Chains A and B, each alone.
Chain A
């Protein structure tokens, strides 16, 4: 599969080192459609290729929105791209959040740090089709108040009367009036119908493990909790072997996986 040239239409700096790009085609063909939770491989000319979450609204076919954090040579190059720069696109790849199967359920979205990015397409879907779901809860945790991703958007969502949105930070200065503490702390306080609820969890692996455990302590069956794994990816099509997590290829059997399938593996070290 070859990279397809796409152009940066818009660049937004979300946080120091984190950027959201809006991509458009250069060849006049339509953008690929995708499902929430999928990712693409972005290629920077001569530098390399990395997996990047799709963080936009899947129902809007006119743009491809992706959020990247600079953690290495290639991701840094992607975050430095400017409008009109051209990069290569492969994908979308991977499994999707079970968003289209949640009708009638209470839905809990638990996001940590950059984990809010791959969950955002699901959140758009939940909000745009609000009447299909029971309670909708969004819990977001990050390190400190100036590391809140998509802050303005969270503030806008917070104004809605039909969702519960809680933001917490690991620590803060005295001018922060909100929750302080790990995001998992917010879980035991939830009041949802655990037998008819689904949770979507994304963030650092430790946070997902403890978050999933807390959700199950609350009463959700393990099969109702979904996580998104991150592993080294090169080919994104299950042929290079790098993304393996025991028998799972994170690129094709994931990144979105069901908690009961990975619970035991997550607890082990160096799998």
Chain B
């Protein structure tokens, strides 16, 4: 358990979270590893896990009928795969696949949600950390949407 707390506390996203909250969150955590091209999850799967990437790279993809899988984002060390766990109905909207050997800390989303309900202070700390990630992703997505490299821009 103590090892997981330490690893959690070292991850960029949880830096500065108090010891007490780290303990609570670590109670939902486990170490996971993915081989290259191994899927973390598929679209429409229940969003039951949050992955804090410690090493490696995860590609977020959607599949299209004619073009196969299109990667629209990669998530690397120190970043997090999984924001959908915050919103009902808690279903992934895309696939996630490791592009290289990837180690991550997986947090049980249901476990964490329950603990946040029970302890609102923990809940606030968690949300405070995930919201900036959400906003950054939104900004980045908007920029991607603008297709800035096409000649008309």
Interface set of A (CB-CB < 8 Å, partner B): 69, 71, 112-114, 142-143, 147, 168, 170-174, 176-182, 184-185, 188-189, 203-207, 210
Contacts and interface: CB of A to CB of B under 8 A. Distances in A.
A87 B124 CA distance: 66
Contacts of A184: 140, 143
B153 to A, nearest CB: 5
B73 A204 contact: no
**Main secondary structure on chain A at its contact with chain B?**
mixed
A180 B146 contact: no
Interface string B51-88: 00000010111000001111111101010000000000
A178 B74 contact: yes
B1 interface: no
Given A181-B140, A184-B143, A204 B71 contact: no
A203 B143 CA distance: 13
Which of A113, A143, A179 has most chain B Cβ within 10 Å?
A179
Given A71-B151, A112-B149, 19 more contacts: A114-B149, A142-B149, A168-B74, A170-B147, A171-B71, A171-B72, A173-B68, A174-B61, A176-B71, A179-B57, A180-B60, A180-B74, A181-B72, A181-B140, A182-B143, A185-B136, A203-B148, A206-B153, A207-B148
A180 B153 contact: no
A61 B67 CA distance: 46
A210 B139 CA distance: 9
Which of A71, A142, A143, A188 has most chain B Cβ within 10 Å?
A143
Contact of A204 (B61, B76, B140, B149): B149
Contacts of A71: 151
B144 interface: yes
Interface residues of B, number: 29
B150 to A, nearest CB: 7
A174 B72 contact: no
A143 B150 contact: yes
A206 B146 contact: yes
B23 interface: no
B143 A210 contact: yes
Nearest to A189: B78
12 contacts: A143-B147, A174-B68, A177-B99, A177-B100, A180-B60, A181-B72, A181-B140, A182-B143, A204-B149, A206-B146, A206-B148, A210-B139
